[in-house]
Structure 1
Amino acid sequence: MPILRAPLVTLLATTLLGLGTASLPSEPHLTPAASYLPRLVARGRAPTAALLAHTPSAAGHGSYRSTGPGIRYADRFRAGSITKTFVATVVLQLAGEGALRLSDPVERFLPGLIRGHGNDGRRLTLRALLSHTSGLYDYTDDTSAHPVSAIAAIRTATAHRPMHAPGTYAYSNTNYAVLGLVVRRVTGHSYATEIRRRIITPLRLTGTSLPGARTTLPEPHGRAYTRDPAGGGLSDVTVLDPRTAGAAGELISTLADLNRFYAALLGGRLLPSAQQTALLNTEAAHGTYGLGIYPQRLSCGVTVWGHNGHIQGSYVRTAATRDGRHTLTYRIDTDTLDEADTLEPALLEAEFCAT
């Protein structure tokens, strides 16, 4: 499956070859995917790459490797569209509590907001938003607009005609901007507050946060870079305004926290049975996407579930087995990875297809 690329990096931009020795003393083994990290630097032109894998046989911190000192085990980084899985989990929990139904139209919660230019919130369900089958124009594709609120982002989107008729899969950050507002309308709290209350605190994700208007990263953190497509030079973009990303991509996290979150989610610890089934149901998106999470079938027959995050200065991908017992998160400290369509599948296959 092609790598999903949320184009938040476009909107936010104003713009070795041997393994390093970075590892933890408690590391029980060298994860199979670690041998692929240098390729992300040599062929993918990432300044630094790192990964953390947890397997049923691993203990403690799992298996960590990096290509150099640019990324450390405990570093906080921007996780981009992985935010969507957190938002989807909250929405599904609310469905399990009877506070909403996935078949509810957006109009029920946000009357009059999705209107004009062929857009109609009366025809769009929450399930369509979660599965990216609403057809709503992706506000990040309008490079003339720089919205710093969900309302502004949605108005940018509804100034354009839909990308497709409802029912066709088309990845759009606008869907999750809308869902963030739905969470507020249903709970009386922001999606950030609900994510903290329902996910971050119970799972003790001590390195995970939603920054709001904060432009800096919490300590500890490394640097984040974006590459000039013309000259190829790197610019430091560690400091940026995350409000444009919002519910579609503002999350800050760590390698360990993302592994823990997806292990809990896929392991059935965050959702009731019916909502767990809905989470992994890809029928609406014709096998491409579930509800805030997507599958990738590897050549060995294993299917992994997870999400990626692509935002200015950062690219991250988490993948896990269906039961959540084997998880892998890797990241680079830039938003561009050359040969990503071949490098990422090779890394995942090395990890999950190893015998």
Structure 2
Amino acid sequence: MSQQVTDRSGPLGTIARRCKGSGAGRRGVAALALVAAGGLAAVGVQHAEPAQAYGPKKDSIQANLDALVRAGVAPGALASVRDRHGRVTNYTAGVNDLRTKAKVPTDGYVRMASNTKMYTAVAVLQLVDEGAVKLDEPIETYLPGLVRGNGFDGRTITVRHILEQTSGLPGYDQPHVYEYGNKYYEPRDLLDSAFAKEATAPAPGEKMQYSNTNYILAGLLVQKVTGRPIGEVITNKILKRAELSKTYWPGVGDKTIRQPHAQGYLPDPETMKWVDTTQLDPSIAWAAGQMIATPSDINRFLVALQSGKLIKPATLAQMRDSNIFLPAGEAMPELAWQYGLGTIGFDLSCGGRAWGHGGDIDGYSSRTAITSDGRAVTIVVTADSSPVADGVFRVLDAFDAALCADKQPSQGR
């Protein structure tokens, strides 16, 4: 079993890399349900709108979540689905507390991990809209003398390179959760770790290399230009503007999650029993993965972003304009996942394209996206590393199915 780290070096995590070449592909609900496992009791769907407002396809979303839990991917799962008419349905499966068998809270708070990158990217792009930052300006202009190391030079790395993960900067060391979970990290601690490594990537702009280091720099860029903490900037310019009352940036040293929250777990490498990792210090992820939200509020963010409430339409177009494909092993090749400026675009099995991100931190694995017609889905399982070898692919299948559940027939390929 691979070492557990916070917000892994790739948006799909180490499980995806471990399963490369395993033959995992697109699977239907029937195949998913046939996986043998000692299941936990599933919890039913709870609708924000009358049940009859949703077609029978909605039942498959609940069935997929139940199947994830039965297969042993995680003790629990939760999802929020917004259809193209703006109607919201929240789902849960499994248990929240393995001792009491308490149910997973409907639309409970979770650690969003690398989904934070979307918010940090928007904070930078808002400064671009305001004329305070230029995407093709070297990072040296805004953070003079900071990006230096074994072959790294901030004069050759632009803001765009940082946001699209093509800077070539390496990731910083990420210890086991038992070590980092009780430790507070300053952003500079993380950069010192990264810049102590030798440069191994091509020149800036030539190739994608997913690294949290990029978004630590993006957070520092926002702070330097605005003169305010990144958490405050995101709160005032994104969360308040989009009325995201169930999303927040944890305070310094805060290891807790607001109630009601989904509890997070990881499997013990020796006994393979679930260990509760809900409480931890997320500062090791900072602007790359520190935030907390509910699934429905993450969807509300995607809607606000797509509707032009947060950045200009032309800037959003740049955010999504990408010919940068995730490296082999970061996603199933047939999905053709592309990385924009802090957002991931991918083709759906039912046709069309969706944009969003994903996040993995010890205890939580989430995927979120929105389609052009406003269908938004956030799915979370309460473990970011699973004893099930292809667990991440099962989650991706459920995610794709949920995004396609409300698809209009006329919009197919």
When the two structures are superposed, what TM-score results if normalisation uses the length of structure 2?
Answer: 0.77
- Superposition pairs of residues 283-322 of structure 1, within 5 angstroms: 283-284=323-324, 288-322=338-372
1:63 corresponds to:
89
Q: Per-residue deviation at 1:183?
A: 0.3
Which position in structure 2 is the counterpart of 1:351?
402
The answer on 1:176 being equivalent to 2:202 is no
1:25-76, Cα deviation, whole Å (9 max, x unpaired): 63433624222112211225210111110102453xx112211452212421
| Residues 285 and 124 (structure 1), Cα distance of their counterparts in 2 relative to 1, 3 Å cut | farther
Code of the residue aligned with 1:308 in structure 2: it is G
- The aligned counterpart of 1:21 is 44
Q: Give the AA of the match of 1:164.
A: A
1:99 paired residue number:
132
The alignment status of 1:259 with 2:259, answered yes or no, reads no
Contact 2:40–2:94 under 8 Å retained in 1: no
Partners in 1 of 2:267 and 2:94 — Cα distance? 19
1:209-231 CA distance string (max 9 Å, x none): 11132111112223221112332
Deviations 1:179-206 (A, max 9, x none): 1100011000111111001111112211
Aligned residue among 132, 147, 172 for 1:139: 172
The letter for the 2-side match of 1:196 is T
**Contact (CA 8 Å) 2:81, 2:378: kept in 1 or not?**
yes
The match for 1:4 among 11, 19, 38 is: 11
Deviations 1:274-330 (A, max 9, x none): 21111101135586200110011123322111111101111111121034x100111
Percent of aligned pairs sharing the same letter: 33
What amino acid is the match of 1:66? Answer: T
- RMSD after superposition: 2.3
State which of 314, 328, 332 in structure 1 corresponds to 2:381. Answer: 332
Counterpart residue number, 1:151? 188
Shift of 1:163: 3.9
Aligned equivalent of 2:120: 87
Amino acid of the structure 1 residue aligned with 2:172: Y
Q: Could you tell me whether the CA contact under 8 Å between 1:124 and 1:134 is conserved in 2?
A: yes
Aligned partners of 2:62, 2:397: CA distance in 1, in Å?
Answer: 11
In the alignment, the residues of structure 1 paired with residue 264 and residue 399 of structure 2 have an alpha-carbon distance, to the nearest angstrom, of 23
1:37 aligns with 2:73: no
Q: Secondary structure at the match of 1:139?
A: coil
Counterpart of 2:23 in structure 1 is: none
Q: 1:114 aligns with which of 144, 147, 159?
A: 147
Distance 2:146 2:11 in 1: 27
In the aligned structure 2, how far is the partner of 1:17 from the partner of 1:76? Answer: 21
Measure the CA separation in 2 of the matches of 1:285 and 1:22.
35
Are the aligned partners of 1:27 and 1:64 in contact in 2 as well (CA < 8 Å)? Answer: no
Unaligned 5+ segments in structure 1 are 8-15
Structure 1 residue 141: Cα displacement: 5.2
CA distance in 2, matches of 1:282, 1:17: 41
CA distance 1:344–1:332, shift in 2 (3 Å)? closer
Contact 2:44 2:62 in 1 (8 A): no
Question: What secondary structure sits across from 2:262 in the alignment?
Answer: coil
Question: How far, CA to CA, are the matches of 2:343 and 2:372 in structure 1?
Answer: 12
Question: How far apart are residue 111 of structure 1 and its match?
Answer: 1.4
Are the aligned partners of 2:241 and 2:309 in contact in 1 as well (CA < 8 Å)?
no
**Paired residue secondary structure (1:346):** helix
Contact 1:142 1:156 in 2 (8 A): no
Q: Could you say what secondary structure the match of 1:119 adopts? A: coil
TM-superposed deviation, 1:89: 0.5
Q: Secondary structure at the match of 1:65?
A: strand
> Taking structure 1 as reference, are residues 25 and 79 closer, same or farther at Cα in structure 2, changes over 3 Å only?
closer
Structure 1 residues 24 and 114: alpha-carbon distance in aligned structure 2, compared to 1, 3 A threshold? same
Task: Name whichever of 143-152 and 93-102 sits farther off.
Answer: 143-152
Q: Verify the 8 A CA contact 2:242 2:310 in the aligned structure 1.
A: no
* Counterpart among 82, 96, 100 of residue 54 in structure 1: 82
Q: Distance in 2 between matches of 1:193 and 1:25?
A: 31
Secondary structure of the structure 2 residue equivalent to 1:182: helix
What TM-score, normalized to structure 1?
Answer: 0.89
